[in-house]
Amino acid sequence: MTKRSIFAAILFSSVLILGACGAESEEGQSSDSNGSGGDKIPIEITWRGTGESDNIRRYLEGFEADFESDNPDIDVVLAPIMASEGDYFSKVALTMQSSETAPDIVSEDTFMLSSDANAGYLASLDEYVESWDDWDMFIENIKTGTTGEDGSVYGIPTTTDSRGIWYNKQVFADAGLPEDWQPESWEDVYAAGEAIKNSDSEAVPFSMNVAKANGEAVSMQTFEMLLYGTGETLYDSETQKWNVNGQGLVDSLEFVDEIMNQREIGPSLSIALNSSYGSVMTQDLLPNGGVGMVLDGNWNIGNYLEGGAAPLDNVDEILGFATFPTQNGEEPGFVTMAGGWSWAIPENAQNQEASWRVIEAMSSKESQADRAVVEGTLTVRKDSAEDSRYLERPLIEPATKALENAHFRPKNDLYPNVSIEIQNAVEAVASGSMTPEEAATSYKEAVTGIVGEENTY
Amino acid sequence: MENRNSMTDTSKRKKLSDNVKSSIFLSPAWILLLVFFLTPMVLTIIFSFTNLALTGAQAQNLRFIGFDNFIKMFNDVNLYNSIAKTLIFVLFSAILGQCFLGFLIAFLMKGKNATFRRIIGIAVIAAWVTPEVVVAFSWVAFLGDSGTLNSIITSISDIEAIAFLFEYPMVSVVVANIWRGTAFSMMAFQTALDDIPVEVEEAAIMDGATRWKIVWNITIPMVKGTITTNLMLVTLQTLGVFTLIYTMTGGGPGNDTMTLPVYMYQQAFVSYQLGYGTAISLIILTIGAIFSILYMKFLKVKV
C-alpha cells in the first residue's frame, strides 16, 4: 500500500515537474532573446531566403554593416525563412500570430499585404509616414500597392518588377532570328518558337512557368501576362466582380496548350513541372543556350551580374529582353504585370519604433538603389532611378518601358485562393490532362465556389 | 439478514476504494491522453465548423459557420477526386502491396537458412528505417530523366527516357510506398509464422494435404489476428502518407496524385483555409474508421 502510494506520488510529481520545466524554459528563452547583445535592441528582419545565391541577403549584409556602425543601439538580425514562395506566406502568417515568434520587420509581397493587413497581422505605418519627407519620392501608383483596404499604409515599397521574354541571342542567330527581336503578337512568339524548333539548335524553343509547384509565378508570370494582353482582366475593381466567362481566359489557356502540346515548342514535363524549374531555366539553360525564349521577370538580370548565381561578362551580347506582346498587337503593343515587395512591421513586433528606424534607413535613396542594383529589380523611388549604377545596368531600358502598360493583381482577400485555381488550370492544360475549354470551365466552377456566384461576371 | 447486509457493505466499500485507487493510478495516463490526444481531436472537430483562416479579414473574426465547410465539400469536385486517389493509393500500396508482399516474403523466408534470412531481412528493413524524405528523394533520383532506371533502360534498349513521375505518377508513388513499407508487414508476419507449431503442419502433410491447402486452411487462419492488425495498421499509416507524395510529385501532375492529406495541406496552408482543411481531415478520419470496422467485421477478429 504505502509503496504504491509513494509510486503514485512520484508519478504525479514528475508530471508536475515536467510541466514546470516546460514553462520555465519558455520564460528563459523569451527573456534571453530580449536581452541578447547587452543594451542593443535586436531587430529581426525576415524575408524569403533562397539559399546560396540569395541576392537579398547580399544586399542586407551590406546594409547591416553600414546601419550598425551608425546606430550602435540596434542589432540587426538577419532571419530569412527558407521556403518555396507559397510556403513563405503561410510561415510568415504563422509567425506573426504571436509576439513570441513575430519578426520585427517582414518582407511582404504586395499582393499578400492587404490580406495580412485585414487579418490584423500588420501595424499601420500612417504616423511614421506622415512625418517622413522621403515618402513623396516614392512612385505614386506603387504606394497604392502597400495601402490596405482601409486606406492606411501598411508597408514601405522596396522594389517593383516587370515581365517579358528573355531570349538567348546565340540560339536566335542559329535559327536565323534577329538579334534585336521584339514580337508584336502571340503569333510572332509561336513563329520564333517554330523557327528554333526547325533549326539545328537542340534548345527548348519557349518556356514559361506552368507547374503548381512554382506557385504564384504561374499565375503572374504566365497566365496573367497572357490574360491582360487579351484586353481582359482577372477582376473588375470597380464592380468588384471576378471574370469567369471571358474568352480571354480560354485564349490564354490556349496559348499554353499551343506551346506545350500542339506545336510542341515548350520544355519537357520533367523540366516544366519540376519545383526547381525557375533556377534551372534562368541560371543554367538560358545563359548556356539550352533554351531560346523564357517568359519571366526582369529581376533575373541579378543572376547574370557580378556576384549573382550565373555571372556573365557581357550580358547584352548573350541575352536579350523583349517586352511581352499583346494577343493580336493591340495598343500599346506590349503588356506586363507588375508586383513587388515591401517592408512591413508586424502588429506583434516588440520594438516598433526601432523597426521603423531600420525601415527608414533601408528606404533611403542610396539603400533603395543598392537593392535594385544587387537584386536586379526596379526601384520604386524616383531619385534612386537616377543613380548611375542603376542606369548603367544592362537591359534596364525594356524592363522600365514595360512598366508603361503595367497591371497590378487584384487587391482582394480571395486573390490567393483564386490564384491557386489559375495554377491548377495552367498545369492541367500544360500537362495535357485537360483541354483549354475544360480547364476554363473547371476554373469557372472553382472560382464561383470561392467568391460566390454574385461576385462573378 | 444483518450479517449479509454488512457483508455487501464491506464489499461495496472495498469496491469503491478500489475504484478510487485505480482512478488515482490511472489519472496521469488520463491527463496525458486528455491533453495530447483528446483536446486536439475535439479542437479539430470544432474548427471544422468555423471559418478559421490563416490570413485575410476572416483570420481576424473567427466564427461558427455551421455546416458550410461540409456543404462546400460535397460540391467540391477536387475532393471526390482526392478520395478516389486516396482509395487507389491505399488499395494498391497498402493492401495489395505491403500486406501481400510482406506476407509472401515472410512465408518464403520461413524455415530458410539463418544467414539468408538475415541478409534479406536487413535489405528489406533498410528501406523502412530510412527517413521518408530520403526515400522520396532516392526515388525521385531513381526515376528521373537521367536517373538510374532510365540509364539502364536507355543502355539496354532503344526506348527513349521515360518521365516516370509525370507519365505514371500514381504507379511511381505506389511502388515507392510499397518499397518503403513492406518491411513492417514482413516483420509482423515473420513473428506470427514462427509461432505456428511445426506439428500442425506436419500432421496436415501426414493427412495428405497439398501445400496450397496447408497455406489456405492452416497457415492463414492461424495468423488471422496478425493479418487484421497488420492490415489495419498499414491502412491507417498509408492513409496519412504525406511526405512521400508531396516530395515526389507535389500531388501532381494536375491532380493525379492529390491524395487527401496533400489536398488538406493545400487547402489549409496554400489556400489559407484552415477551417476547410480541418473538415477534410475529418474525412480522412472517417475513411480510416470505415476501413477498421470492415476489417474487424470480415475477418471476425476481436482486437
Residue A254: partners with Cβ closer than 8 Å, 6 or more residues away: A436
CATH 3.40.50.300 applies to domain A163-338+408-455: no
Q: Is the pLDDT of residue A30 over 60?
A: no
Each residue's pLDDT tens digit, A364-376: 999 999 998 888 8
From A85, which residue of chain B is nearest by alpha-carbon distance?
B270
- Is B23 in the A-facing interface, judged by CB distances under 8 Å? no
Please judge whether A118 and B255 are an interchain contact, meaning their C-beta atoms are less than 8 angstroms apart.
Answer: no
What pLDDT score was predicted for residue A319?
93
What number is the average pLDDT over the span A429-442? Answer: 92
**A164/A326 Cα distance (integer angstroms):** 11
What number is the average pLDDT over the span B204-211? Answer: 85
Each residue's pLDDT tens digit, B216-251: 888 888 888 888 889 999 999 999 999 999 989 888
Each residue's pLDDT tens digit, A234-246: 999 889 899 999 9
From B60, which residue of chain A is nearest by alpha-carbon distance?
A119
* Banded pLDDT at A6 (limits 50, 70, 90): low
What number is the average pLDDT over the span A445-449? Answer: 89
More confident residue, A142 or A444: A444
Residue from the list B25, B56, B77 with its beta carbon closest to the beta carbon of A119: B56
Q: Is the pLDDT of residue A193 over 60?
A: yes
Count of CB contacts below 8 A, A vs B?
A: 103
Each residue's pLDDT tens digit, B13-24: 777 788 888 888
B76 sits in the region (left: phi over 0; alpha: psi -120 to 50; else beta) called: beta
Sign, CA dihedral A316-A317-A318-A321, equals positive
Question: In chain B, pLDDT over 70 holds for what percent of residues?
Answer: 95
**B235/A95 Cα distance (integer angstroms):** 34
Instruction: Write down the domain spans for chain A.
Output: 41-161+339-407, 163-338+408-455
Q: Is the pLDDT of residue B198 over 60?
A: yes
**B31/A387 Cα distance (integer angstroms):** 65
Yes or no: say if B140 and B151 are a contact pair by the CB < 8 Å rule. no
What number is the average pLDDT over the span B91-112? Answer: 89
Each residue's pLDDT tens digit, A399-425: 888 888 888 888 887 888 899 899 989
Residue A267 cell numbers, joined: 520544355
What pLDDT score was predicted for residue A59?
92
What pLDDT score was predicted for residue B302?
54
From A275, which residue of chain B is nearest by alpha-carbon distance?
B250
More confident residue, A63 or A6: A63
Mutate to test the interface with B, among A14, A273, A412 (most CBs of B within 10 A): A273
Residue numbers of B between 69 and 128 with CB closer than 8 Å to A: 72, 75-78
- Chain A contacts of B56, Cβ < 8 Å? 115, 118-119, 413-414, 416
Residue A198 cell numbers, joined: 526547325
What pLDDT score was predicted for residue B6?
56
More confident residue, A331 or A256: A256
What pLDDT score was predicted for residue B172?
94
- Is B195 in the A-facing interface, judged by CB distances under 8 Å? no
Residue from the list B21, B28, B72 with its beta carbon closest to the beta carbon of A449: B72
Q: How far is A254 from chain B (nearest CA, A)?
A: 17
Each residue's pLDDT tens digit, B15-67: 778 888 888 899 999 999 989 988 988 998 999 998 888 887 778 888 888 88
What pLDDT score was predicted for residue B9?
67
- Chain A contacts of B76, Cβ < 8 Å? 449
A241-242 vs A334-337, strand pairing mode? unpaired
Q: How far is A7 from chain B (nearest CA, A)?
A: 9
Please judge whether B60 and A118 are an interchain contact, meaning their C-beta atoms are less than 8 angstroms apart.
Answer: yes
Question: In chain A, pLDDT over 90 holds for what percent of residues?
Answer: 54
- Is A427 in the B-facing interface, judged by CB distances under 8 Å? yes
Please judge whether A433 and B253 are an interchain contact, meaning their C-beta atoms are less than 8 angstroms apart.
Answer: yes
Q: How far is B96 from chain A (nearest CA, A)?
A: 27
From A120, which residue of chain B is nearest by alpha-carbon distance?
B60
Residue from the list A90, A413, A416 with its beta carbon closest to the beta carbon of B57: A413
Mutate to test the interface with B, among A16, A17, A115 (most CBs of B within 10 A): A115
* Banded pLDDT at A142 (limits 50, 70, 90): confident
What pLDDT score was predicted for residue B7?
55
Please judge whether A212 and B252 are an interchain contact, meaning their C-beta atoms are less than 8 angstroms apart.
Answer: yes
B296 sits in which H/E element: helix B274-298
Q: Is the pLDDT of residue A19 over 70?
A: no
Q: How far is A402 from chain B (nearest CA, A)?
A: 30
What number is the average pLDDT over the span B70-98? Answer: 90
Place of cell 519537357: A268
- Is A436 in the B-facing interface, judged by CB distances under 8 Å? no
- Is A335 in the B-facing interface, judged by CB distances under 8 Å? no
- Chain B contacts of A429, Cβ < 8 Å? none
Residue from the list A11, A270, A275 with its beta carbon closest to the beta carbon of B28: A11
Q: How far is A86 from chain B (nearest CA, A)?
A: 6
What pLDDT score was predicted for residue A271?
86
DSSP characters over B158-212 = SPPPP-HHHHSHHHHHHHHHHHHHHHHHHHHHHHHHHTS-HHHHHHHHHTT--HH
Q: Is the pLDDT of residue A20 over 60?
A: no
- Is B169 in the A-facing interface, judged by CB distances under 8 Å? no
- Is B157 in the A-facing interface, judged by CB distances under 8 Å? no
From B26, which residue of chain A is nearest by alpha-carbon distance?
A8
Residue A344: strand, helix, or coil:
strand
* Banded pLDDT at B201 (limits 50, 70, 90): confident
Residue from the list B32, B72, B254 with its beta carbon closest to the beta carbon of A433: B254
What pLDDT score was predicted for residue A5?
53
Each residue's pLDDT tens digit, B122-176: 888 888 889 999 999 999 999 988 889 999 988 888 888 888 888 899 999 999 9
Q: Is the peptide bond before B261 cis (omega within 30 degrees of 0)?
A: no
What number is the average pLDDT over the span A208-236? Answer: 92
Q: A320 exposed, middle or buried (CB, 10 Å; 0-12, 13-18, 19+)?
A: buried
Residue numbers of A between 103 and 162 with CB closer than 8 Å to B: 112, 115-116, 118-121
What pLDDT score was predicted for residue B196?
86
Please judge whether B144 and A431 are an interchain contact, meaning their C-beta atoms are less than 8 angstroms apart.
Answer: no
What pLDDT score was predicted for residue A23?
40
What pLDDT score was predicted for residue A1?
41
What number is the average pLDDT over the span A22-33? Answer: 39
Indicate the CATH number for domain A41-161+339-407: 3.40.190.10
Each residue's pLDDT tens digit, A100-126: 999 999 999 888 888 899 889 999 999
Scored b (16 or more CB within 10 A) or e, B247-279 reads: bbbbbbbbbbbbbbbbbbbbbbbbbbbbbbbbb
Residue B208 cell numbers, joined: 495428405
